[in-house]
Structure 1
Amino acid sequence: MTDLPTDQHPPRPVVVAGDANVDLVLRGDVVPRFGQAEQLADSGDLVLGGSASIAASGVARLGVPTTLVARVGADTFGTFTLDALRAAGVDVGAVEVADDEPTGLSVILSTPSDRAILTVPGTIPTLTGERVTRVLDGRGPGLLHVASYFLQPGLARDLPGVLARARAQGWTTSLDTNWDPAETWTGLADVLGELDLLLPNRNELRAIAGALGEPADLDDTELAARLARRGPRVVVKDGADGGWSVGADGVVVRAPGVPVDVVDTTGAGDSFDAGYLAAVACGVDDEQVRVRWATVAGSLSTLGSGGTGRQATRADLDRELAR
């Protein structure tokens, strides 16, 4: 087991940039039937949403100083989002509140094995790279993690320059693109060379690799290795099987998930990101242990509703790593 006491090894700070919104998670009989049919769902929860926000919450809960750079509206959902982030220990001083734009909203129709998401973007697409750079300037170097690339065209357009500047200042850079609603997967060729870490799931891995011209008949690990040779270590979420990572050398490092009775998979990938980023921030050098932090965090998050209902703590990690 690798356990790094924070009093002897202070973790590096993490700055997360991306989406901040609320999620309305519905479970049960959630497949819509039109024709004014009324259905009775089993449960509904209003929770913190947004890949960046869920990841930031997860990193903070693992004892790492965490700042979120995002935008919300001056409305009820914006207040809810900020309160939830503060409760998780996230520094929200870099979250802008827009007077004339609504906070984003996602409605998640969740089953134990899959989910559908309906999103009203609101303030989500309005974050800029200039804003992220201003937050980083003057801070000690740590980890910069960007999420929901395809939901934020302004940030995406600026991102190669933002990442290059951050790396020049000593920051470790990472990206979770999440799914592209337009399914074009464009713009990433200029981003990968400025990344230290790319954190897709298997479907996103294949979509990104295909958009970059990699052959579709290659297996997942070879595709990941080819992406890694473009710049970043590729850390892949593999559902119930846990996760794995590969560098430019093609060596695959795997870690299993934790067997759980799944309640809701919303945000599990973002909590996976949080576990991996926290391990890096805390100075964990063993790649297998880093991936294990990620798989434990991702697995445990499925025990609660929404992405932050049951995020891992350091005690959880210590217990699972000791097994």
Structure 2
Amino acid sequence: MSAVDGRVPDDGPAAPGRPKAPAGPSGPRPLVVLGDANVDLVLRGDVVPRFGQAEQLADSGDLVLGGSASIAACGTARLGVPTTLVARVGEDAFGRFTLEALVDAGVQVGDVAVDPRTPTGFSVILSTPDDRAILTVPGTIPTLRAADVRAAAVWGTGPAHVHVASYFLQPGLAAELPALLAELRSAGLTTSLDTNWDPTERWAGLAEVLPYVDVLLPNTNELQAIAAALGAPPGCSDEAAARHVAALGPRVVVKAGADGGWSVAPDGPVVHAPGLTVDVVDTTGAGDSFDAGYLAAVAHGVVDEGRRLRWAAAAGSLSTLGAGGTGHQATLADLRRAGVV
């Protein structure tokens, strides 16, 4: 049984050969997030493009922190979890904006490398109340590699859990991830993965990665695509898809939008939690805030799966009350007011 299933490992080394960190004070256990750090330009209103040089007027637009990893890291930091991000940005205005936003949210950024040659990635998000389209310029996003992760100074602090985001936007890191996660696991850390959508729609490589993942965090569309790539029967139910994926080892924690979320382990019942009823402003990053709520519950020592899902569903719901992925992320006080904590 892993820490995410209820047993907390000791503060062993964070990677092979590294010295054991001294035990820290009681409190939430530290988290490391690996992945993308970039900016989002979020446009709302009449955002379906019409070509032929037609000009449209959008209702509003915001330049905000983007990147699944960055948004999740901000979410866990705001929920009181000591959080470090390992990522790469460019030496440019977008990179400075990204670092400042992360610091403002309480994320440790000492292991975010600044690349003087490659520009910071960015996304343009065309957002409606019910859906969104995303156009991404990768920039520094795919330049993070396992060597950067292994060299990060954070391992001397004895983190307990590593979360990886945007697997398919980082093919170099993705190819090295099975070996990296195996090393982290052997050092006593637990792991989680949010693949996000695969722009190529091939969904390759996950059969090699998932045996080293404790928690997989897809939405329902991603779940079906992942399960199909792993050989699940065509047209199977969401539960059957999740059980097929969970057979490789991870607990599958599924984001179900306004319906909240649910999860299933390799064996055991399906556990559900509802979302909150809110007046949605922007759904950008809601899934990453859901991830943050779940991971924060684990870091705070919540063992019951239903409670973990309630943290996740509430954090995802509350994040939609503001613009962008981090504009209205939940705090512990918010979760208490929602009756979750």
TM-score bracket for this pair, using the shorter chain length: over 0.9
Q: Indicate if the aligned counterparts of 2:311 and 2:340 stay in contact, CA closer than 8 A.
A: no
Query: Secondary structure at the residue paired with 1:85?
Result: helix
Work out the CA distance in 2 between the residues paired with 1:236 and 1:273. Answer: 10
**Offset, 1:218:** 1.9
Counterpart in the other structure of 1:210: 228
| Structure-2 residue corresponding to 1:130 | 147
**Distance in 1 (alpha carbons) for counterparts of 2:247 and 2:202:** 22
2:93 corresponds to: 76
- Distance in 1 of aligned mates of 2:68 and 2:216: 14
Tell me which residue corresponds to 1:49: 66
How far is 1:312 from its partner? Answer: 0.3
Matches within 5 A, 1:261-280: 261-280=279-298
- Residue identity opposite 2:33 in structure 1: V
Q: Give the counterpart of 2:239 among 216, 221, 238.
A: 221
Give the CA deviation at 1:216.
1.9
The structure 1 segments of at least 4 consecutive aligned residues displaced by more than 6 Å after TM superposition are none
Deviation at 1:293, TM superposition (A): 0.3
Aligned residues of 1:9 and 1:283 also touching (Cα < 8 A): no
Aligned residues of 1:222 and 1:250 also touching (Cα < 8 A): no
Residue 283 of structure 2 corresponds to residue 283 of structure 1: no
1:245 aligns with: 263
1: CA distance, partners of 2:331 / 2:226: 32
Residue 270 of structure 1 aligns to which amino acid in structure 2? D
Which of 103, 106, 122 in structure 1 is aligned with 2:123? 106
Inter-CA distance 14–225: structure 2 relative to 1 (3 Å threshold): same
Give, in whole Å, the separation in 1 of the partners of 2:188 and 2:43: 42
Q: Is the 8 A contact 1:199 1:234 kept in 2?
A: yes
1:150–1:181 CA contact under 8 A, matched in 2? yes
Given candidates 187, 192, 217, the residue that maps to 1:174 is 192
In the aligned structure 1, how far is the partner of 2:136 from the partner of 2:340?
Answer: 40
* TM-score, normalised via structure 1 length: 0.96
Of 191, 194, 206, the match for 1:188: 206
Contact residue 129 and residue 282 of structure 2 kept, 8 A: yes
Task: Give the partner amino acid of 1:40.
Answer: L
8 Å contact kept, 1:73–1:102: yes
Which runs of no fewer than 5 residues in structure 2 stay unpaired?
1-23
Q: Cα–Cα, structure 1 residues 214 and 65, in superposed 2: closer, same or farther, change >3 Å?
A: same
CA-CA distance at 1:322 after TM superposition: 5.3
Query: 1:63/1:322 Cα in 2 relative to 1: closer, same or farther (>3 Å)?
Result: closer
Q: Is the 8 A contact 1:22 1:47 kept in 2?
A: yes
- Aligned partners of 2:340 and 2:162: how far apart in 1? 29
Q: TM-score, normalised by structure 2?
A: 0.91
1:8 is displaced (CA, Å) by 8.2
Specify which of 309, 325, 330 is matched with residue 312 of structure 1. 330
Rounded to whole Å, the distance in 2 between the matches of 1:307 and 1:242 is 17
Distance 2:156 2:322 in 1: 38
Give the counterpart letter for 1:175 in structure 2. Answer: L
Are 2:32 and 2:159, in contact at CA under 8 Å, matched by a contact in 1?
A: no
Taking the aligned partners of 1:82 and 1:225, their CA distance within structure 2 comes to 39
Q: Figure out how many residues of one structure are paired with residues of the other and give that number.
A: 317
CA distance in 2, matches of 1:134, 1:251: 40
Distance 1:219 1:52, change over 3 A: same
Give me the whole-angstrom Cα distance separating, in 2, the residues matched to 1:9 and 1:255. 28
Identity %: 71
Aligned-pair CA distance for 1:9: 4.2
Report if the CA contact (8 A) 1:141-1:169 is conserved.
no
Supply the AA of the counterpart residue of 2:240: E
Q: CA deviation at 1:112?
A: 0.2
Deviations 1:136-158 (A, max 9, x none): 54331411000000000111011
Aligned residue for 2:330, secondary structure, equals coil
RMSD, aligned CA: 1.3
Structure 1: where are the runs of 5+ without partners? 1-6
Q: Which residue of 1 is the match for residue 57 of structure 2? A: 40
Give 1:34 shift: 1.2
Q: 1:141–1:170: 8 Å Cα contact kept in structure 2? A: no
1:150 to 168, 186, 196: 168
